[in-house]
Chain A
Amino acid sequence: MKTILLKEIKLNFKNLLIWSLVVGGVGLACILMYQSMQGEIAKVGDAFSDMGSFSDAFGMSTLSMATLAGYFAVEVGTVHGLGGGMFAAIAAIGILSKEEELHSGEFLLSLPVSRKKVVAAKGICVLCMLVAFTLICGCLYALGFASMGESLPAGDFMRFMLGQFLMNIEIAAVCFAVSSLSGKNRMGMGLGIALLFYFYDLIGRVVPDLKDYLFIGPYSYVNGAEIFSGKSTPAAAFVVAAAAIVCGAVFAFWYYDKRDLAS
């Protein structure tokens, strides 16, 4: 299993590096641009904070973009939330199905290793990639704060990054389950799942009737504005996240073990 895990990490390393550096790099660039855009941001923030439910959707009614923390929560929160969700989906949705799509499944599964161990190795690989992605992006954001001479709001920042990590695992678990279903890489579906969750949260914050059901989506507990303004997250959101992760992983193990594999 260790050999399969190491091989998977090696095969996915380039993908991990590109996504981490692009998402983290864009976040870092946003932070570095803060000073030069400070005046405009304050005006934009004031304008957006008075737009009712749209201000709520982007968190601008609760947090001032005139501070670096507020700007980070709104701008980088969106970049990292979307980028991280998409990366998690892409990493997980092809990891099992690629063996059949690329016809390497017969080679792999003719080696003395059970399908459960293959699923475990690939699941751990996705988890390792998400840990690395979160660490690389987190370091780049911290570097941004340091280079701006601003102290990092450590507690909120940690809560934000850990929440993002959990959200990434939740999306990955859903996509991992989908990956066990077929022998085709459904990258489009993976991206669709990530975007669906994102827009569900966005629309849920605009439409009053949906606000009570926001906790169903994984983006409900990673809203930067809420985290950086000290608002607590409903426990139900974490319960749903835990349930989705467990169900996704258990389904992948169960289904991949019982189905016929294409040649």
Chain B
Amino acid sequence: MGNAIEIEHLTKSYGKNRGVIDVSLKVKEGDIFGFIGPNGAGKSTTIRSMLGFLKFNEGSIKILGMDSVKDHEEILRNVGYMPSEAWFYDSMKVSDVIRYAADVRGLDCSEEAAKICEKMKVATDKRIKELSLGNRKKVSIVCAMQHKPKLFIFDEPTGGLDPLMQKHFFELINEYVDKGATCLLSTHVLSEVNKYCRSAAIMREGRLTVLDSPKIDDDTFLKFYEDE
């Protein structure tokens, strides 16, 4: 099996401020990869560099075998991304946002979208401005999944979701991964890593360490969050 994500010596700084330093990471196809670390450690910087939101200083990123800079559009065609802050256009209806995301992809995803909406109990007739954070996150899940991408990138996806929706969310991930997709899951929730992830890595102060196993106890996990 090949690698869905290959990051080599990624360095990104914001002027004089540290972003990430010499990060190398491989995520195998079919994996559910847990990406953990304290706030400001560089998880989102790594993810945002992968998706082209940030222009990195050094290194290279390959997603699904394609160069993240040269093949940017083609990569995004095959990626489903859910940001930590699920924001859309306030005045649009949920159904319009979901259809808009599919239309930009040039796909008719109505069947899959309806399936996910039903499972996640998404109120499609409401306007975005009427939704709570949890409900906006559900819309974001639909937009990330409806085109059945080869790679999912979730940045703190379960914050704001109730326990039942969290369960349904991971059921959906497992369903897609069983069909051949790969998932990178950035999270602070240890139980999610222990229960769902097959491998994991931790970021601290911009540097990455790949863990031997995603099965870690509370004390070890909390040590990652303590100051060095």
Q: Which residues of chain A have a CB within 8 Å of any CB of chain B?
A: 3-4, 7, 11, 102-107, 109-114, 258-261, 263
Contacts and interface: CB of A to CB of B under 8 A. Distances in A.
B200 interface: no
User: Of residues A107, A113, A259, A263, which shows the largest number of chain B Cβ atoms within 10 Å of its Cβ?
Assistant: A107
Given A11-B89, A103-B87, A110 B51 contact: yes
B76 A107 contact: no
Nearest to A103: B87
Given A4-B104, A111-B104, A258-B55, A106 B87 contact: yes
12 contacts: A3-B100, A3-B103, A4-B104, A11-B91, A102-B90, A105-B53, A106-B81, A106-B83, A110-B79, A111-B101, A111-B105, A260-B54
A84 to B, nearest CB: 25
Interface residues of B, number: 32
Interface string B20-61: 000000000000000000000000100010011111000000
Contact of A263 (B74, B79, B85, B103): B85
Nearest to A4: B104
B88 interface: yes
A113 B103 CA distance: 11
Given A4-B104, A112-B104, A258-B55, A263 B76 contact: no
A107 B104 contact: no
Given A7-B100, A260-B54, A107 B73 contact: no
A126 B59 CA distance: 38
B89 A110 contact: no
B204 to A, nearest CB: 21
Nearest to A262: B53
B72 interface: yes
Contacts of A105: 53
A11 B97 CA distance: 12
Contacts of A261: 53-54
A4 B89 CA distance: 12
Contacts of B54: 260-261
A113 B73 contact: yes
B124 to A, nearest CB: 17
Interface in B61-109: 72-74, 76-77, 79, 81, 83-92, 100-101, 103-105
9 closest Cβ contacts across the A-B interface?
A103-B87, A112-B76, A112-B77, A110-B81, A106-B83, A111-B104, A3-B103, A261-B53, A260-B54
A258 B53 CA distance: 10
A103 B73 contact: no
Contact of B87 (A4, A107, A259): A107
B191 to A, nearest CB: 26
Contact of A111 (B76, B89, B91): B76
Contacts of A113: 73, 76, 104
Contacts of A263: 44, 48, 53, 83-85
Contacts of B51: 109-110
A103 B129 CA distance: 13
B143 interface: yes
Contacts of B55: 258-260
B89 A104 contact: yes
